[in-house]
Amino acid sequence: MSPQEAPSIPRSLSPSRMGPTFWKRSSERRNGILMVAPYALHLGLFFGYPLLFAFVLVFQRWDIVTPMHFVGGKNLVRVFQDDLFVRSVLNTGLFLAIHIPLQIAFALFFAELLNQKLAGRRFFRTIYFLPVVVSGVVVTILFQQLFSFETGYVNAVLTALGGQRVPWLVSPKWAMPSIALMATWKNVGFYVILFLAGLQNIPTSLYEVAYLEGATTWQRWRYVTLPLLNPMMVTVVVLSTIGGFSLFIEPYILTGGGPLDSSLSALLYIYNQAFYFNHMGYAATLGLLFALIIFLVVTLQRRFVETREQ
Amino acid sequence: MSRSQLSLVLFLLLHSGCKMDVGHSDSAKRPLLLWTSQNPQERMWAKGLVNAWNRANPGDSVVVQPIPAGQSSEEVLMAAIVAGTTPDICANIWPGIVNDLARAGGVLRLDTLAGFDSLMQSRTPATLRGDFRSPDSAYYQIPWKSNPIMMLYNVRLFRKAGIDSPPRTYSEYLAAAKKITTDLNGDGAYDRWIGYRDIQPIWYQRFFDYYTFYIAASGGKTLFVGDSLAIDTTASNEVFSFFHQLYRANYFPKSKFQGNPFVSQITATDFTGPWNIAWLKANAPSELEFAYAPVPVPDDYEGPVHTYGDYKNIAIFSNTERPATAWRFARYLVSKQADLLLLEKTAQMPIREGLLSDSAFAAFFKSNPGMIPFAAQVPDTRGVEAVSSLPEVLDAVARQFEAASVYGVRSPAEATRRAIKRILVLQDWNS
Amino acid sequence: MKHEADMSVKKISLYVALTLGALVFAYPFVWMAMATFKPELELGGLALVPTHWTLDSYRRVVETVPIGRAFLNSLFVVVCVTTAALVFGSMAAYSLSLLRWRGRDMTFNVILFTMMVPFMVLLIPLYTLVVKFGWTDSYTGLVVPFMMNATAVLILRQSFMTLPRDLLEAARIDGCGDLRMLFTIVWPLSLPALVTAGIIVFIGNWNEVLWPILVVRKETWMTMPQMVALFSVGGGAYGRLGPQLAAAFLLGLPVILAYLVFQKHFISSLASTGLKG
């Protein structure tokens, strides 16, 4: 088809935007749809259909093997009677409450360090990011040893320094905080990079102006850095939260959810309901409910953390 | 897309229907597939029998594989039924899931097959026959072997502590614990304990503490009568309390061990079955003297000591292409020769009547007197009820065990109450 | 003079802080590597270097589980997934950035939306779907659900939008069709973005462990993270930490090596994506 042919172009597509002959093709539309078709089909089959099916499952009792069995709202009623699910959500909340502030504090700290004009920054950046790419399984098994009460490395160091051994993974009080520490160690590098990018986007001229006006380092940080870092801060908080809610493999390997259900994360509980006890309908209900909780939390976070552009 | 990428995609799509395992190829007369547990001695036993069978039945050969790995073999079997990847026969079926397998239509009904009744009459002890019947009065499993849970103890360590006979009651056990649990290297912490249990609230671990001791303390009762919960609360409280005392005094440690602590003589007792004997013989140092005795019971208990039988049975899967051959092979697996081989190779107990009186086994028990306590215990074993979602029921118990016995955050009576409450709720949910 | 002294004190303290940080992040890996060569008894000790180097832990791993096969499985699956994600992802990205058609922006918003839905909502229905198709215990079940990756589409679309239009127009006038344009012109020009998207998909899929645990039961089909996780949890290691650490180290090594080679691409583009997010 020659570019000189002019098929009818919808008003929204203005040729002046993209060059005179670029859009004058009717194959445009066909190719546009065709090329995105594989993706769209895949999306429909492996995302859309399961999503709809999840809503259907809420009202069924199903263990996959025997036929589905309509139970009306019984699954929803069950959620309200299930104190263990509530416990798992609260546990996940505790995890986030420890993990996110720690992560932000350390990520900011190291990002500031890396933002200075020092030789070898690349090297340090590479090292800090290393735990991020490694599988959660590797990190978990590593920390299983490090945190072991009798033979763990951390306790060995503590006792060598004269301290007491800490029951990291065997005490209901310490189990979830230990997992939060481990998760922070693993993911901090990722957020260091994000914060670093955010910091590097702040024009140095602003700092110079502040310095000339007599602001101290702390004041410069508070009134220049923090506000301008805000969009990145929102990103970091939201991403950390969404990532934190999917806590699964760490308690699965380290503690199995114990001791005394203190490290039972919501996803681990849902997994147990679905694949240990074969309650597919109930697990689907929990999954949807939990997704709703995540959505609410993230929306609230954005409202509280996001400041409007000045 | 390049041609090679296209062909890769086609290749993947075409192979979605094909599996590269024995069960689904189209070649004529493919062999029967037998699944056993991962236990090495059982695999050896199975291999020996299968080789002999294949020599005698060249047209009906059998292939044996260990059951695929997973969180538990129960979960693996259910998943196999769903995916249509079941074997023909499995010799590692826990009775607790047989009804789930049957409801899913995954296993063959056996009591209508020729030879089933005579097999039951001649082999299975009368006291146990009814235990393996399903709610619809049919049989979907062949009772095969039992591992009665008994108390394994380190004879030398007990003798060193001045104890010549194994403890029979809770008080005797606690007294022994006090003498044996010691700090060996003077660092203020114990290095040797009377025993050890996995304290994670995993439901099947409770077979080796709560459930066994409950059966013993209640004189042979289980948690249910038919479909309804009928816990002997006195017995349950006594069991929770007994373990609580052990953990409170630190006679049982709360940590995980590397390797087996009994073999390293870090612990002096263990609650386990005869499957352990072969492993101990292979892995324990020669100076380790060990023996078995019935599990301890409450001080005021009288009568024979019951225990959990930890049965594993044999089932034939409905997907099998040759049910008659499979049934013939299954009967072969529980023949006298096979049972004798089971004793010799794996030291596990066939669920067979008159083990100690039958001349076929006399030679074996003469040269293995350590096995006699187990053979004697077999008739006094109990199993589990076939209620729906039994793992969840035991999970409720496991949670209370963790709370009351290991961590002592609530009283034994409260633990029993809460377990009952949660189990009733579970039954209501799952009805 | 005082100012300079202050500056160097500041510099030294910065370096100290940076080095401490590096130690915290790197030392555990170094320790783990060393520990895999230690005899079992020394694992709890403070010494870094083993007194007596032994391959015992590795031997136990290899004897108990088919870790080599698991590695090959992971490799095959990840290569398939990455290739598919890049091919189909760039097709979608091309369509969403360089072509104009009705419904384009809405489609893009739908794709953005899918990134926000947590995987756990889809987990169970997706699992039942895969079971129904008969894709358990096969490469199909491991590859097909992950063949499309929204992150890859985002990255590629971003990159395609920055391409010089005149070049593309010239090619168009020469009669170049869209598919050919994509693979012969756009791809060579977008190599950094392709590499970045490829790495993100590669590493993400290599580390994926929950999905294989659900979909694969037979040892011959297990992926490497799954095998290592089950080896640790399922008692295959008999509670011994040496083999568990050895298995974990084997799992982490390929990724660490790949990362050290490609880290430039990874980190720099990650930062720019983060800004847009």
Helix/strand/coil for B290 = strand
Q: Which of A276, A279, A282, A285 to mutate to test the interface with B (most CBs of B within 10 A)?
A: A276
CA–CA dist A47, C223 (Å, integer) = 23
Which subunits sit against C, judged by 3+ Cβ pairs under 8 A? A, B
C21, C120, C165 ranked by CB distance to A270: nearest: C120
Helix/strand/coil for C254 = helix
Helix/strand/coil for C269 = helix
The reply to whether C78 falls in a domain is yes
A258, A276, A278 ranked by CB distance to B200: nearest: A258
Report pLDDT digits (tens) over B95-151. 888 888 888 889 999 999 989 999 998 898 887 888 888 878 899 999 999 989 999
| Number of C-beta neighbours around residue A280 at 10 A | 22
| Per-residue model confidence (pLDDT) at position A8 | 45
C149 conformational bin, left if phi > 0, alpha if psi -120 to 50, beta if neither? beta
Query: In this structure, which long-range contacts are made by residues B166-173, counting pairs with CB atoms below 8 Å and at least 24 apart in sequence?
Result: B166/B291, B166/B293, B167/B296, B168/B293, B168/B294, B168/B296, B168/B297, B169/B296, B169/B297, B169/B298, B169/B299, B169/B301, B170/B238, B170/B242, B170/B296, B170/B297, B170/B298, B170/B299, B171/B299, B172/B296, B173/B242, B173/B296
Q: Which of C121, C255, C256 to mutate to test the interface with A (most CBs of A within 10 A)?
A: C121
The reply to whether C36 falls in a domain is no
B407 and A81: CB-CB below 8 Å? no
Name residue A148's amino acid.
S
User: A48: which DSSP letter?
Assistant: I
Residue A97 near chain B (CB below 8 Å): no
Instruction: Write down the residue that tokens 């970091």 correspond to.
Output: A236
Give the chain A residue whose CA is nearest to the CA of C241: A145
Report pLDDT digits (tens) over C17-54. 999 999 999 999 998 998 888 887 777 677 788 888 88
The residue-averaged pLDDT of B3-20 equals: 45
| Number of C-beta neighbours around residue C108 at 10 A | 19
| Per-residue model confidence (pLDDT) at position C74 | 94
Check whether B325 has a pLDDT greater than 90.
yes
Q: Which one has a higher pLDDT value, A110 or B387?
A: A110
Name residues whose C-beta falls within 8 Å of residue B146's C-beta, 6 or more positions apart in sequence.
Answer: B309, B310, B311, B348, B349, B350, B351, B378, B381
Check whether B370 has a pLDDT greater than 90.
no
The reply to whether C132 falls in a domain is yes
Q: Which of A9, A133, A238, A276 to mutate to test the interface with C (most CBs of C within 10 A)?
A: A133
CA–CA dist B296, B217 (Å, integer) = 9
A130, A138, A146 ranked by CB distance to C251: nearest: A138
What the block records as the tokens of C268 is: 């720099």
What is the percent of chain C with per-residue pLDDT over 70, rounded to a whole number? 91
The reply to whether A22 falls in a domain is no
CATH assignment of the domain containing C225: 1.10.3720.10
CA–CA dist C143, C200 (Å, integer) = 16
| Per-residue model confidence (pLDDT) at position B206 | 92
Which subunits sit against A, judged by 3+ Cβ pairs under 8 A? B, C
Residue B8 near chain C (CB below 8 Å): yes
B16 and C135: CB-CB below 8 Å? yes
The residue-averaged pLDDT of B251-264 equals: 81
Confidence of residue C143 (pLDDT cuts 50, 70, 90): very high
Distance from CA of A270 to the nearest CA of B (A): 14
Confidence of residue B156 (pLDDT cuts 50, 70, 90): very high
Which subunits sit against B, judged by 3+ Cβ pairs under 8 A? A, C
Q: How many folded domains does chain A comprise?
A: 2
Residue B411 in contact with residue B404, Cβ under 8 Å? yes
Report pLDDT digits (tens) over B174-207. 999 999 998 888 777 788 999 999 888 888 889 9
The reply to whether C3 falls in a domain is no
C134, C143, C219 ranked by CB distance to B83: nearest: C134
Distance from CA of C125 to the nearest CA of A (A): 5
The class (CATH top level) of B150-308+385-430 is alpha beta
Residue A252 near chain C (CB below 8 Å): yes
Predicted model pTM: 0.79
pLDDT, averaged across chain A: 84
Nearest to A39 by CA among C191, B12, C146, C80: C146
Q: Which one has a higher pLDDT value, C253 or C99?
A: C253
Confidence of residue A309 (pLDDT cuts 50, 70, 90): very low
B68 contacts in chain C (CB < 8 Å): 217-219
| Number of C-beta neighbours around residue C242 at 10 A | 25
Residue A261 near chain B (CB below 8 Å): yes
A113 and C21: CB-CB below 8 Å? yes
A150 contacts in chain B (CB < 8 Å): 255
Residues 135-174 of A with CB under 8 A from B: 148-151, 170, 172
A186/A241 same-domain check: yes
pLDDT, averaged across chain B: 86
A158/A63 same-domain check: no
| Per-residue model confidence (pLDDT) at position B14 | 46
Distance from CA of A25 to the nearest CA of B (A): 22
| Per-residue model confidence (pLDDT) at position B201 | 82
Name residue B331's amino acid.
R
Same fold, B20-140+312-350 and B150-308+385-430: yes
Query: In this structure, which long-range contacts are made by residues C35-39, counting pairs with CB atoms below 8 Å and at least 24 apart in sequence?
Result: C35/A145, C35/C242, C35/C245, C36/C242, C36/C245, C36/C246, C36/C249, C38/C242, C39/C242
B12 contacts in chain C (CB < 8 Å): 80, 139-140, 143-144
C217 and B15: CB-CB below 8 Å? no
Measured in whole angstroms, how far is the alpha carbon of residue C45 from the centre of its chain? 33
Question: What is the DSSP pairing of strand B381-382 with strand B307-308?
Answer: parallel
A255 contacts in chain B (CB < 8 Å): 200
Residue B293, beta-bridge partner list: B151
A23-32, B314-323, C128-137, C179-188: range with lowest mean pLDDT: A23-32
A1-15, A30-44, A176-190, B375-389: range with lowest mean pLDDT: A1-15
Chain A with chain B: Cβ pairs closer than 8 A: 58
| Per-residue model confidence (pLDDT) at position A14 | 45
A151 contacts in chain C (CB < 8 Å): 43-44, 241
| Per-residue model confidence (pLDDT) at position B268 | 93
CA–CA dist A140, A143 (Å, integer) = 5
C230 and B69: CB-CB below 8 Å? yes
Q: Which one has a higher pLDDT value, C170 or B342?
A: B342
Alpha helices in chain C (DSSP H): 2-35, 56-64, 67-97, 104-116, 119-133, 139-143, 150-160, 165-173, 178-180, 187-189, 191-207, 210-215, 224-233, 241-276
| Per-residue model confidence (pLDDT) at position B1 | 43
The reply to whether A7 falls in a domain is no
Report pLDDT digits (tens) over C79-116. 999 999 999 999 999 888 888 888 888 888 888 888 77
B210-219, C196-205, C257-266: range with lowest mean pLDDT: C257-266
A53/A83 same-domain check: no
A39 contacts in chain C (CB < 8 Å): 88-89, 91-92, 111, 148, 153
Residue B24 near chain C (CB below 8 Å): no
A150 and B402: CB-CB below 8 Å? no
Confidence of residue B260 (pLDDT cuts 50, 70, 90): confident
The reply to whether C52 falls in a domain is no
Give the sign of the dihedral formed by CA C107, CA C108, CA C113, CA C114: positive
A146/A295 same-domain check: yes
Question: What is the DSSP pairing of strand B307-308 with strand B224-225?
Answer: unpaired
Residue B368 near chain C (CB below 8 Å): no
The residue-averaged pLDDT of B226-233 equals: 88
Cα–Cα distance list, B108 to B312, C160, C257 (Å)? 17, 60, 52
CA–CA dist B254, B262 (Å, integer) = 15
CA–CA dist C122, C117 (Å, integer) = 8
Q: Which one has a higher pLDDT value, C200 or A7?
A: C200
A64, A142, A239 ranked by CB distance to C128: nearest: A64
Question: What is the DSSP pairing of strand B228-229 with strand B269-272?
Answer: unpaired
A64, A260, A282 ranked by CB distance to B402: nearest: A260
A64/A120 same-domain check: no
Give the chain A residue whose CA is nearest to the CA of B254: A170
Alpha helices in A71-220 (DSSP H): 74-81, 83-115, 121-133, 136-146, 153-160, 175-200, 204-212, 217-220
Alpha helices in B218-274 (DSSP H): 233-248
Check whether C277 has a pLDDT greater than 50.
no
CA–CA dist B47, B1 (Å, integer) = 50
How far the first Cα of chain C sits from its last, in Å, is: 46
CA–CA dist A275, B203 (Å, integer) = 14
Domain ranges of chain B: 20-140+312-350, 150-308+385-430
The reply to whether A45 falls in a domain is yes
Question: Which residue range(s) make up the domain with A203?
Answer: 76-305
The reply to whether C27 falls in a domain is no
What the block records as the tokens of B23 is: 């069960």
Helix%, strand%, coil% for chain B, nearest 5: 50, 15, 40
CA–CA dist C156, C149 (Å, integer) = 11
A32 and C99: CB-CB below 8 Å? yes
The reply to whether C30 falls in a domain is no
A65 contacts in chain B (CB < 8 Å): 78, 81-82, 100, 103-104, 106
Residue B156 in contact with residue B289, Cβ under 8 Å? yes
The reply to whether A61 falls in a domain is yes
Q: How many folded domains does chain C comprise?
A: 1
Residues 57-86 of A with CB under 8 A from C: 57, 64
CA–CA dist A229, A200 (Å, integer) = 10
A64, A148, A157 ranked by CB distance to C131: nearest: A64
Check whether A25 has a pLDDT greater than 90.
no
Residue B100 near chain A (CB below 8 Å): yes
Check whether A100 has a pLDDT greater than 90.
yes
CATH assignment of the domain containing A280: 1.10.3720.10
Q: Which one has a higher pLDDT value, A149 or B33?
A: B33
CA–CA dist C196, A144 (Å, integer) = 32
Residue A277 in contact with residue A286, Cβ under 8 Å? no
Give the chain A residue whose CA is nearest to the CA of C30: A142
User: B200: which DSSP letter?
Assistant: S
The class (CATH top level) of B20-140+312-350 is alpha beta
A258 and B425: CB-CB below 8 Å? no
Helix/strand/coil for B35 = strand
Check whether A15 has a pLDDT greater than 50.
no
CA–CA dist A174, A166 (Å, integer) = 8
Confidence of residue B24 (pLDDT cuts 50, 70, 90): very low
| Number of C-beta neighbours around residue B182 at 10 A | 12
Helix/strand/coil for B311 = coil
A259 and B103: CB-CB below 8 Å? no
B402 and A258: CB-CB below 8 Å? yes
Confidence of residue B314 (pLDDT cuts 50, 70, 90): very high
Residues 183-242 of A with CB under 8 A from C: 185, 188-190, 193-194, 196-198, 201, 232, 235, 239, 242
Residue C146 in contact with residue A42, Cβ under 8 Å? no
Instruction: Write down the residue that tokens 């953390």 correspond to.
Output: A305
C80, C220, C239 ranked by CB distance to B258: nearest: C239
Cα–Cα distance list, B396 to B184, B427, C143 (Å)? 37, 12, 38
The reply to whether C253 falls in a domain is yes
Check whether B28 has a pLDDT greater than 60.
no
Residue B102 in contact with residue B390, Cβ under 8 Å? no
Check whether C264 has a pLDDT greater than 80.
no
What the block records as the tokens of B9 is: 């995609």
Residue B378 in contact with residue B148, Cβ under 8 Å? yes
The DSSP annotation for B142-195 comes to EEEEE---EEEEEHHHHHHTT--S---BHHHHHHHHHHH-B-SSSSSS--BBS-
| Per-residue model confidence (pLDDT) at position C239 | 67
